[in-house]
Amino acid sequence: MGKHSRPGPPNQPSRAVPPVAVDDPLAAYDKRRRPPMDVWRKHRPLHGGGSHVQPDEARALIAWNGFAYEMAGTAPDLATAQQWVTEAPGAETADE
C-alpha cells in the first residue's frame, strides 16, 4: 500500500465525509459548514487531562456553530456531559 491509501476496497467511497448533492448549488458552501467528522457537540475537561481520568470533574461543553466550536456551557461530571453530547446532536445547527 502506498503512503496515502486508506484501508478497504478502492471502489468504496470514504465514510469520513458524507456525499455532497450534485444538483444543489450551495453544496460546496454547506460542505464547508459541516463540523470536522460531523461531530456537532463535544465535551472537554476544564482542568485538562483525558476525559476518562477524573469522571467527577467539571466539563466544558462546546458546540459547532457553523464555522467553529464555541463554548455552550459546563457540566458537573462526565455522565452529564456525555448525555448532553448524545441527546440532540446537531439539532440547533440543522435548523439554521
User: Is residue 12 in a domain?
Assistant: no
- The number of folded domains in the chain is 1
Residue 29, domain member (yes or no): no
Q: Give the tens place of pLDDT for each residue, 59-95.
A: 999 998 888 899 999 999 999 999 999 986 545 444 4
64, 66, 71, 76: CA torsion to nearest 10: -30
From CA 18, how far away is CA 32, in angstroms rounded? Answer: 12
Label residue 93 exposed, middle or buried (CB < 10 Å: 0-12, 13-18, 19+).
middle
Position 66 in a domain: yes
% residues pLDDT > 90 (the chain)? 24
Residue 52 lies in a domain: yes
Is there a domain that residue 33 lies in? Answer: no
Q: Is residue 53 part of a domain?
A: yes
The 10s digit of each residue's pLDDT in 24-61 is 888 777 777 777 777 889 999 988 888 778 889 999 99
* Residues spanned by the domain of 46: 39-94
Q: Is residue 26 part of a domain?
A: no
